[in-house]
Amino acid sequence: MTTQRDNKGRLIKGSSLNPKGRPKKTSKSLPLSLTKSAIKQLESALNNGEEWAIKEVLKRSIPTLKPIDNSELESLKTDLARLELISLQNSIRILESIGDEYE
């Protein structure tokens, strides 16, 4: 099927550049029996205190922290100071408007 376009080269409503649609996803999961076996072996290794098993579990359950270099830290400090200044200015405006009401 050819793609239908108008005289300006735009797609006509209802036509598609991909008439067959998105390809079906292939399953990348392991068979359930193999997965259960792997979990049992991992549990056994954890119970025996095997270092590789502990590292694997921690690697997948605790996010890795990335270091912040000095340039990022200075930028964060500047942003924080800017936000504090804006907050202070807003507080002063509010207090001034309240003071004007009582004068």
Helix (H, G, I), strand (E, B) or coil at 11: strand
- Residue 4 contacts residue 12 (beta carbons within 8 Å): yes
pLDDT digits (tens, 9 = 90+) for 3-61: 688 888 888 888 888 888 888 877 777 777 888 888 899 999 999 999 999 998 888 88
- As to burial, measured by CB atoms within 10 angstroms (0-12 exposed, 13-18 middle, 19+ buried), residue 15 is middle
Whose tokens are 């400090």? That residue is 77
The domain limits of the chain are 32-65, 66-103
Tokens describing residue 29: 């999961």
Concatenated DSSP letters of 39-58: HHHHHHHHHTT-HHHHHHHH
pLDDT digits (tens, 9 = 90+) for 86-97: 999 999 988 888
